[in-house]
Copies of this chain bind each other. A is one copy, B any other.
Amino acid sequence: MTNFTLYLVTDRELSSLPLEEAVEQAIQGGCTVVQLREKHACAREFYETALTLRAITRKYHVPLLINDRVDIALAADADGVHLGQSDLPCRAARDILGPQRLIGISAATLEEARKAQADGADYIGVGAVNPTATKTDTRTVTSSQLAQIKAAVSIPVVAIGGIHPKTLTGLRGTGVDGIAVVSAILSQPSPKQAARDLLEQFRGLRHA
């Protein structure tokens, strides 16, 4: 079973360190999954970055997921993909990826969450649970909606959107399996320390 507790989503523009270094630090601090997201890179750069990150994530036995591009996930032999509602449909991606690789689906409603599970997703990313600066096209999910979605599906639920130490308490009682974080790790002076602190805080919250 994949551990989705602390799920890093990359954004090279937010990273204060070179991306590879920030990701390695984040993993050392406790990130359990890495999703490579490239908003502006051409496919060639995206692929090359995937190869670089794959070497790092393998060293730490952490899964690497590729945002949107199923072909890059295959070409770089990544562990799976994360797909939004505007990306390839889950079932089409599954046909290409085979049964082993992970597929995550962004869901902002109960209906999307149920459909993702029915379509064979391995987990869902639910959000935005807070207003967020890193994505502008997001819909908002309240903590009670999040709890409702968590209760409605059996696959892991990762909360996403503006999660940082101050907003984390908003997830209390929702039962989510993990938190997806961008700037709260990558834009910090020490991604390692930031990851460690978030992990500790989230664990405390879950066992409260």
Contact = CB atoms under 8 A, between A and B. Distances in A.
A15 to B, nearest CB: 22
A98 to B, nearest CB: 12
B96 A74 contact: yes
* Among A71, A75, A86, A88, residue most surrounded by chain B Cβ atoms (within 10 Å): A71
Interface stretch (A40-48, A164-172, A197-205): A40-48
A101 B96 CA distance: 15
Contacts of A75: 70, 88, 92-93, 95-96
A49 to B, nearest CB: 13
Given A95-B75, A96-B74, A96-B75, A68 B88 contact: no
A74 B98 CA distance: 12
A182 interface: no
A69 interface: yes
A21 interface: no
A119 interface: no
A116 interface: no
A44 B86 contact: yes
A87 interface: yes
Interface string A82-102: 000111110011011000000
Contact of A69 (B44, B71, B74): B71
> Top 7 nearest A-B pairs by Cβ distance?
A70-B71, A42-B86, A71-B71, A75-B92, A43-B87, A74-B96, A44-B86
Given A43-B68, A70-B71, A70-B74, 9 more contacts: A44-B85, A44-B88, A45-B86, A69-B69, A69-B71, A71-B96, A75-B88, A75-B92, A75-B93
